[in-house]
Amino acid sequence: MLCGGHSRWPRINRSCRALDRSHRLNRGVDGVVTSRAFGNANQRKRAPLELFAGHLAVLPLLRGLSPLQVAAIARRAERVSYTPGAVIIEENGIAEAAILIIAGTAARVSGPELAARSEPVEPGSLLGEAAMLIETTYGSTVVARSPVRAVHITRDALHEQMLEDPDLADRLVQNLAKRLTAFADELRRVDALLAGAAATTPRAALQAPAG
């Protein structure tokens, strides 16, 4: 495994794991497909490039890749369809791939900081971003509410492409660094807002009323 215990790109491995932890701390809908869901998905097929290459090009992790690099990822990806009620990702499962939702309605029904019984997952959402690079577990469970079409970007396929194209690994390192910087900036911004709110709250208001 290139980005696992025998990684040729340790920076990718470290950055991916840090990004994965950040997703979980910040709730994110970044679960990953369980091996069971991956195996039970209805009919895996090669996905036509025109259906999702545009979606891939704008994903933060893949931003700035050349059209040829995006096309190569698209050629290796697989189209997957899910029937209503099917589990797309399962919390605490083993990651096989990142999943890009192309069409249909889905919902997150378990996972960190779930604010309601379920939360919608829109087309264009990428589930399990880190799973395309490292071994990880799923942070949430997402189920199909209607027929769902999705694309699997498997870790094995992306590792194979990085072996053939070292420039791809360099670009991914740069994008991961940008993502981690953005997460750190956001955390600092939230901390500053909370500190400011605490400073302006009257001390008496922070004390519990006497019993």
Q: What is the pLDDT of residues 79-106, one digit of tens each?
A: 899 999 999 998 888 888 999 998 999 9
Q: Is residue 108 domain-resident?
A: yes
Q: H or E stretch including 195?
A: helix 166-200
Question: pLDDT tens across 103-152, in order?
Answer: 999 998 876 666 668 888 988 888 988 888 888 887 888 999 999 999 99
User: What is the three-class DSSP state of 187?
Assistant: helix
The Cα 125–Cα 143 span in angstroms is 13
pTM for the structure as a whole: 0.68
pLDDT value at 46 more than 50? no
| Cα–Cα distances in angstroms (integers) from residue 195 to residues 10, 22, 117, in the given order | 36, 21, 31
Mean pLDDT, rounded, of the chain: 75
Tokens coding 172: 């991914």
**What mean pLDDT do residues 45-59 have?**
68
Does 2 fall in a domain?
A: no
Question: Which residues form the domain of 48?
Answer: 10-193
Report the number of distinct structural domains present in the chain: 1
Whether 61 is in a domain gets the answer yes
Range of weakest confidence among 18-22, 39-43, 116-120, 158-162: 39-43
Residue 109 is assigned to a structural domain of this protein: yes
199 falls within a domain: no
**pLDDT > 50? residue 26:** no
Q: Judge whether 56 lies within some domain.
A: yes
Res. 15: pLDDT tops 90: no
* Residue 107 is assigned to a structural domain of this protein: yes
- What pLDDT is attached to residue 99? 92
What pLDDT sits at residue 190?
76
Question: 130 or 4, which is more confident?
Answer: 130
Residue 4 pLDDT:
43
Residue 44 has pLDDT above 50, yes or no: no
Edge-to-edge strands, sheet with 141-144: 87-89, 141-144, 106-110, 119-121
Q: Is the pLDDT of residue 25 over 60?
A: no
Q: Is position 200 within any domain?
A: no
User: What's the confidence (pLDDT) of residue 59?
Assistant: 86
CATH number at residue 42: 2.60.120.10
**Overall average pLDDT of the 151-165 stretch:** 92
For 174-203, the pLDDT digits (tens) are 888 887 787 777 778 877 887 777 777 665
